Every structure is written in C-alpha cells, then in structure tokens.
Structure 1
Amino acid sequence: MPQPPTAALDTGWPPPPYQAPVPFVVTENDVRRFDGITYATTPGYRPRLLDVLVPAADAPVPAVIWIHGGGWLEGDRRYPPPTVPVELLHGSILRAGLALVCIDYRHSLEAPFPAQLHDVKAAIRYVRHFADIFGIDPKRIGVWGESAGGHLAALAGLTRPEGPAGEALEGGEGIPDGDTAVQAVVDWYGVSEIASLLSHPLPLTPGVEIPNPFTTLLGGVEDERGELARTASPVTYAEGATPPPFLLVHGTEDKLVPYNQSELLAEKLRSAGGEVTLEPVEGADHIFLGAPDVTPIVTGSVAFLARHLGA
C-alpha cells in the first residue's frame, strides 16, 4: 500500500500528498465518523478535505461521494444547498445503509478546470485506497452532486483514462494511481454543455458582483474555438463507453442552469445505451427553489443510489 514520502512525514516539509485516516469517532446510532481528512495537497493551495460517515454494519457498505455546488466559486463540503436540510440529506443516506463521503475541491479562482475534476478523482482514489479502514466496499461507489457539483459528478461518471481526453482529466493529486470509475451518478441541476451558457444571462442580485461562473471555470481566457468549453462539458464524453446509471433531477424553471441542460445530457446518455432517468421538478428554480417539498426529491435520489449500489 503506497504511503506519503518518508521525508515529508519525518520533517513536515514538503507536506505529504495525503494523510491516512485518523481513528474514527462513534456517534449516535453507531455511525462512525472520520472528519477533516486531507485527501490531497498541492503546493500553493489549501489542503483538500473530506469527511466520512459510515453506518453500523457487519460487512463493508457502498459509499456515496457528495460534491457540493456554488458555481465552482464557493461552497463547503459540510453544507448542502439551503433548501435541503443537512439532517435530511445525511440521515437519508445513512439510513439506507450507505456510507457518505463529503468532499471539498479547489474553486475556480484558485485553479481553473480541470483542477476541480482532478480533486474529485483524487477523492475517489483515496476512498478506494483506504476502503478497509473506512468499512467501505471499493467496488460500490457512487457520486452525487448539485449544481457545480452535479457537473463534476457527471464528469466523474463519464471520463476514463482510455476516453477522449485520456489521462489529462485523471490528475495525479493525492494518491496518484488507482481506479476512478463509479457505479452510479446522481446529478442535480448540473451543467452539461458549457459553450451555450457562456453568454447566458445570470440572475444576479442587485449590488452584488460575482465573477461569471462559466467563464471563470475556464480560466477567464478567450475560447474562440470552444475547445475549453468542450473539454469541460459532460456531453462531450456521454457517447463513449456505456455509462453508469444516471439520475438527473432538474427544476423546469431554473434560471441559472436551464432545464434543457439535463435534457441534452439525458439524450446523449440514451444514445450511448446508458440507463438514465430524467426527473423534472415542475415550477422549481435553481436549488429547487419553489418546490413544495424537497423530501421526496432527496429520498428518491437515495433510493436510486441504494438500488444501483446494492445497499
């Protein structure tokens, strides 16, 4: 089992590329917690952290990696969108017999794409590498993201070393080698095709200035031929090898990421022979604002993952 360089462990410099899991804390309902573990470091950037919650079980359990949103500009692994109570999200996952892995990743003003995807893949490698310690089945890992995290979850489900972009999207952060394939994907209102959104009007709050999330993800450079946008778009990879099962959930009145983004990805996935379910949330805006009750959205997504991961 590979370990961080001995010199780094002995001297503290350079920092090790990752840390082994620290002993867990048992919480209510016999849930085992591993909090604030550094799964990857890159000189000049903050460490990338993850939390792992594992329900009590007699055998290794499947795991879901949760990827937060925030326009690739902000967000925190500990907090779902404000419309989704953390107790509802975390509790539903754990009660279904699934482990939950919540991850941070570099934001786009720290590093442009594909740094964010590199971090997601580093987290997948880390969870597989230490699966025995966590009590996780390394052959049953799914990803679930919302908004920017949905985009990254879709890319994690569709990109492979042998695919169109090859090793360029795998990265080498943290544990540099290992399988990054996932067995199921839940994508909540994620971006699927970036080029059409570069000129999309944003529903901004008066007096609040933020960078354009789509152009900032691409490094804020001119992309006249659309090559960067294609590289960062899940639809680019949707028609390769048969994809894992996908669940796409999207508000029909989403003003930030239009509903047709999920329609386009669903069409591409079906063309590739993949199993895909597209669930519209009628009348809902981004982060399901306007939905009368998010509980069935959450529990339906958990049920999808539990079914496909064999919880």
Structure 2
Amino acid sequence: MDAQRGPIMINRSLSRVLALTALLVTTLGAVVAAGPPTSAATRPPRIFKNVAYAEAQPAGTHGHLLDLYLPAQPATTPRPLLIVMGGSGWFADDGKGYAPALAPYFTAHGFVVAGVSTRSSQQAKFPAQVQDVRAAIRWLGANAGRFEFDPGRMAALGDSSGGWTALMAGVGGTGVRAVVDLYAPIDFLRMDEHMLPGACAAFNRTFHLDACHASAMSPESALLGCPILICPERVASANPLNRLTPAAPPVLIIHGTQDGLVPLQQSRQLFDGLAAAGVPTTFYTVPGVGHNRNIVSADAGRATVRVAGERLIPDAAHPTYAVIESFLRAALLRGEASSLPHR
C-alpha cells in the first residue's frame, strides 16, 4: 500500500464500520424501546456481566466476554440455556449486547440467557469467530452448575452475522440442540444476484463499496481476509450448508421480504438445505420487514410458514418471542420424556 492510498483505505474502512454500527444501534434501540412482551414477569433477572470465557485477543478488546441472565428466582432444577449473539457484519466485538432485549422475556419463562461476544473481522479472520463461540460454549458447559442451567439443553439465537455464528455453532458438533436464525447470510457468493432492486446501489453508498457483497471491502470479504470472488475455498468453508448432516439440530428461520442487506433467498437456500438433510426446520417469511430485529413482533405482517420434517411449533400469524419459546421447548424436548421448567 503506497503512502497516499493507505489513509484513504483506512478512512473508507472506518466510515463503513461507523455506518454499520449506526444502523445496528438504531435497530437495537427500537427493540429495546419496545420492551419485552407484556406477558413477561416484572421481576428483573439476576445478571452477571463481562465474564471472560477466554483471554482477550488482542489485549483490551471485548470479543472474549459474555453476560449471563438468570431468572429472578433461584432454580430447584437446572434450566435450559439460550445463547444470544447480535450481528454487526462481523465488524464489532460486542455481540452480547443483543441479549438484554430478549433476557426479560426468556428468564421470566424459565430460561437462562447468555449474551456472547466474538472477535470482529478487524481483530481476527475466519474461522476465529467460530473458534470463539465454540470456546464460549465449552466454558458455559463447564460452568453450568454455577449458573443453574442444564448443559444438555443449550440453544443458540442470533441475527444477521450473529445468526451465522449461531448456525455455525449448531452444525459444528458443539452440543447446541436448537438454533434460531434471524436473516443470516449463508452463501456469500450468491448474495448479490438476489439483492432487491436498488439494494446494491444503496449498500455501496452506505458502506463506501464498489461491488456490493462481492467488493474486496464488503463484510464478507473482510471476514475471510480476501475478496470473496478470488477465494472460493474459504467462502465454501464459511457456508453452513457445507457442514450440514442429519445430526444438525432443529432450526427456526425468520426473514423479512424487504431485507436490503441480506436477501431473503439466503434463508430459502438454508431451509431447502436443511429439509434435504432431514433436519426439522420451520421458516417464517415476514412481509414488509427489512433487516431489523423488530421482525420478532406481533406488529409485523402475517407471515408465511414452511415446515420441514417433524412439526416443532404450530403455525402462527407472526414470529414472536412466544413462538421462539415454543420452538425451543419442542426442540429441546425431542426424544426426552422429561419436561422443561415453566414460568
């Protein structure tokens, strides 16, 4: 990199990160402002913040931290665990920041919630993020008794790149027994062909790119450390579909029709791949909703539901926290005679 080009590329990269961060903060703010469903109990959970599941790499970063949210009442029997990871296009190391939006509902309904952060693509390249979530799950399993949950009943949930991380954990033999994926990128090389009309142009303007997701500086290229068009082997290794087996856990997919960042077709491909592998899967397509966590809301339009394999939840008009809870309970109970603790 020459002396003049260096500052320009750094400034563009910083601008892209700041723009994406602003978008995600706005989205999360809307979710937090909306609050948990009114059926959630009012007693706040017990919270353990900034617990280190590994050493910081690099020093001073946050991708090695997790937060734990326990129901207000101490457990008499171990509870199920929901691992939550927020998306940032892999540009941030604060994925645990999504958990506070879900914790009030799920702790009130008998779950322990763990918000987990992984390293950003600026700090470490793929597969570091998969290694991080695996390390977090190992740490959680080793400390299950301390935090009152059953290591045999762990589920993972994430949105966007956090959904990708949840899927990679689920198909990676980590012991995760259910996955909830909100509009995750799946097949990086096919994203651009399915973008909504005008979405690539807006994507380029917002993040100072020149070729949409195929850009050398796109979130996907930054994750892999190479332009995705010239490193197909690395792209393939980052595709959850290439790791699917019939042993994969059940998956709940939720995606909006107006998503201008991750095209709906990505989730269609995921559903088809899971169905072909014989994995129980439920897919909610929500009309009129973009790349936004408010997709989990009764205010969204009536969803289209597709189900593959064993039916884990009944059809519902909207994907809500209650729908996710029903899916998790059914998935975690598959093949077991015991029941999960309720509220």
Q: Same fold (TM over 0.5)?
A: yes
Contact 1:195 1:230 in 2 (8 A): no
**Structure 2: unaligned runs, 5 residues or longer:** 1-41, 210-216, 301-317, 334-339
Q: What is the CA-CA distance between 1:255 and the residue it aligns to?
A: 1.3
**What CA deviation, in whole Å up to 9, does each residue of 1:230-285 have, x standing for no partner?**
000111112x2421110000001211111110110111111111100010011211
Determine the C-alpha separation between the residues in 2 that align with 1:292 and 1:113.
Answer: 36
Q: Which moved more, 1:117-126 or 1:221-230?
A: 221-230
Instruction: Describe the SS at the equivalent of 1:270.
Output: helix
Matches within 5 A, 1:1-311: 29=43, 31-45=45-59, 46-47=61-62, 48-55=64-71, 56=73, 57-74=75-92, 76-80=94-98, 86-87=100-101, 89-160=102-173, 180-197=174-191, 201=200, 203-204=202-203, 206=205, 209=208, 211-221=217-227, 224=230, 226-238=232-244, 240-287=245-292, 293=299, 296-310=319-333, 311=340
Identity of aligned residues (%): 32
Q: What is the CA-CA distance between 1:224 and the residue it aligns to?
A: 2.6
Q: Which moved more, 1:192-201 or 1:115-124?
A: 192-201
Determine the C-alpha separation between the residues in 2 that align with 1:268 and 1:207.
Answer: 32
Q: Which moved more, 1:46-55 or 1:242-251?
A: 46-55
Please report the TM-score for the alignment, with normalisation by the length of structure 2.
0.69
Change over 3 Å in CA distance of 1:103–1:289 after alignment to 2: closer
Q: What is the CA-CA distance between 1:223 and the residue it aligns to?
A: 5.0
Determine the C-alpha separation between the residues in 2 that align with 1:270 and 1:202.
Answer: 33
Instruction: Describe the SS at the equivalent of 1:140.
Output: strand
Please provide the CA RMSD for this pair: 2.6
Aligned pairs, number: 259
Instruction: Describe the SS at the equivalent of 2:324.
Output: helix
**What CA deviation, in whole Å up to 9, does each residue of 1:146-179 have, x standing for no partner?**
000001111111123xxxxxxxxxxxxxxxxxxx
Q: What is the CA-CA distance between 1:42 and the residue it aligns to?
A: 4.9
**What CA deviation, in whole Å up to 9, does each residue of 1:171-199 have, x standing for no partner?**
xxxxxxxxx22110000000111122378
Q: Which amino acid aligns with 1:308?
A: A
Q: What is the CA-CA distance between 1:117 and the residue it aligns to?
A: 1.0
Q: What is the CA-CA distance between 1:79 and the residue it aligns to?
A: 3.2
Determine the C-alpha separation between the residues in 1 that align with 2:140 and 2:208.
Answer: 37
Q: What is the CA-CA distance between 1:80 and the residue it aligns to?
A: 3.0
Please report the TM-score for the alignment, with normalisation by the length of structure 1.
0.75
Change over 3 Å in CA distance of 1:217–1:77 after alignment to 2: closer
Determine the C-alpha separation between the residues in 1 that align with 2:221 and 2:69.
Answer: 35
Instruction: Choose between structure 1 and 2: higher helix proportion.
Output: 2
Contact 1:202 1:255 in 2 (8 A): no
Instruction: Describe the SS at the equivalent of 1:283.
Output: coil
